[in-house]
Structure 1
Amino acid sequence: MKTLALDTSTRQSSLALFQGSELLLAQWFDPNMPTTQAITPLLRDLVAEVGWKPTDLQLVIVSQGPGSFTGLRIGVMTAKTIAYVAGATTVGVNSLRAIAARCNEQVSRLHVVMDAQRNQFFHAIYECNDQGKCLEVLETEIIDQEALMKSLVAGESITGPGLRNKHQLVPEGVRVVDENYWAPTGEAVGRVGISDFLAGRSDDFWSLNPKYYRKSAAEEKLEAEA
């Protein structure tokens, strides 16, 4: 199974290519280029490097959210376009779940957070076993940052890019996962999506859309003015 995995949920966007469950290549986007400009040439170069054509792809996996409104929209639309052209199967992956999958430490109860602006987090909780498999026990929600920090209990762990410049607020006794593993990646999205696909899950191409978990500021302003 020739697979493309794509994460554009944060500023650190990346792509990964898999043959079956084997990672062939993974690459960050150029941070100095807008995602819309970086994504097509990077994909073209990586596919050519492994000797494929875009039409060879059989599975396209993409982060659906939460995350950047613009980034998610670009990522999902790119994934759908590629899948349409190649006739590939699509799988959408929750960004927080991909972050949980990157945790490189032995943890049990893991909180995952991304910045939701307005002093809030996108937040989910996972229970992880000795093999590093993490099962979601609290679905993605939006929570006030202060409320989450107060709810943390000694012995729990926390990870995610939402901790940037806020990890000092984490209560004593709560483990902060290594900062190098806070961000979602194309590789992590791919590994989660491949596992789901092998378990029999895929997403309908036509209904695959970003999951924003909240309305944009522009939508909220329009509603307030209505």
Structure 2
Amino acid sequence: MRILAVDTSTNVASVAILEDDIIIGEYTCNKGKTHSQKLMPMIQCLLEKVNLSAADMDVFAASIGPGSFTGLRIGVTTIKAMAFAAEKPVISVYTLDALAYNVQMSKALLCPIIDARNSQVFTAIYRFVDGKLKRLTDYLGIHINELVEIIRPMEGEVIFLGDASGLHKDYFTAELGERISIAPPNFAQASASSVALLARDLHLEGKAESCFDMVPFYLRKSQAEREREINEKRITQND
């Protein structure tokens, strides 16, 4: 089975191809250009390097969020279009699940955090139990103060990863002390290979779907939507 997976949920653009449980190629870029400019060239380059085409894929997968609103739309739309053209199914992978999967088999609590600005983060808390990734909380969009209070009564070391892990390192250290550590860069950032591996597991569980059913997962409304609602409320109040 071959799976082509993408992750565009953060500033990182990542593409990977899984073939019979082996990652045969991965292309990741965390600098320059927008996802709309670099994602398709990355996909095309990777397919050429492994001597395959989109038609050779059995499944297409994307990280669906939470994360960057624009980035998610680009990744999801690209995968939907490729799956539609190839007449193949898709698999939706939650971004936070894929980030936690980067640190496989760790005994620590895993806390992926994606920057949502103003000391807000998208997050969830995980632990590997009997070799399986288990999510211990809901998917959350909260202030880092609230996150610390959720973690505080939990037992054990906590590994933070994701694009906000370094940003709030000092705060977490001050509040949680020696319990915390920050994943190194090769584990901390989004990786399409983790999306592909989780997609493989979901496929085995029968969770493939039509490309028409794949949608981005947002924990909150975009800034544009929030501003529009505020303006509409002001107009209503002035009438």
| Corresponding residue for residue 32 of structure 2 | 32
Q: Deviations for 1:146-173, whole angstroms, at most 9, x for unmatched residues?
A: 2212432362413222212211212113
Using the TM superposition, name which of 175-184 and 215-224 deviates more: 175-184
- Which has the greater radius of gyration? 2
Q: Which moved more, 1:195-204 or 1:214-223?
A: 195-204
1:198 aligns with 2:204: yes
What's 2:227 paired with?
A: 221
2:26 aligns to what SS in structure 1?
A: strand
Aligned residue pair count: 225
Alpha-carbon distance in structure 2 between the residues aligned to 1:193 and 1:141: 22
Conserved 8 A contact 1:58-1:87: no
| Residue of structure 2 equivalent to 1:143 | 142
Decide whether the 8 Å contact of 1:30 with 1:38 is kept in 2.
no
Identity %: 27
Which residue in 2 is equivalent to 1:165? 167
* Residue 41 of structure 1 pairs with residue 10 of structure 2: no
Deviations 1:118-170 (A, max 9, x none): 22111111121253x21112121111112212432362413222212211212
- Kept in 2, the 8 Å contact 1:98–1:184? The answer is yes
TM-score (norm 2): 0.88
2:179 paired residue number:
174
Q: Within 5 Å, which residues of 2 pair with 1:70-219?
A: 70-104=70-104, 106-129=106-129, 131=131, 133-153=132-152, 155-160=156-161, 161-170=163-172, 171-180=176-185, 181-219=187-225
Alpha-carbon spacing, 1:35–1:149, altered in 2? closer, same or farther (3 Å)? same
1:43 Cα deviation (Å)? Answer: 1.0
Distance 2:140 2:30 in 1: 31
Task: Provide the aligned C-alpha RMSD in A.
Answer: 1.7
Q: Which moved more, 1:186-195 or 1:159-168?
A: 159-168
Deviation of 1:12 after TM superposition, in Å, equals 1.3
Gaps of 5+ in 1: none
Q: Specify the SS of the correspondent of 2:136.
A: strand
Alignment of 1:17-28 (within 5 A): 17-28=17-28
CA contact (8 A) 1:103 1:177 kept: no
TM superposition shift of 1:109: 2.9
4+ residue segments displaced more than 4 Å: none
| Equivalent residue letter for 1:193 | A
Amino acid corresponding to residue 168 of structure 2 in structure 1: K
Q: d(CA) in 2 for partners of 1:30 and 1:178?
A: 17
The answer to which of 71-80 and 97-106 deviates more is: 97-106
The normalised TM-score by structure 1 is 0.93
The residue type equivalent to 1:208 in the other structure is M
- Per-residue CA deviations over 1:166-189 (Å, capped at 9, x if unaligned) read 112121132324232111210011
Unaligned runs of 5+ in 2: 233-239
Distance 1:147 1:155 in 2: 18
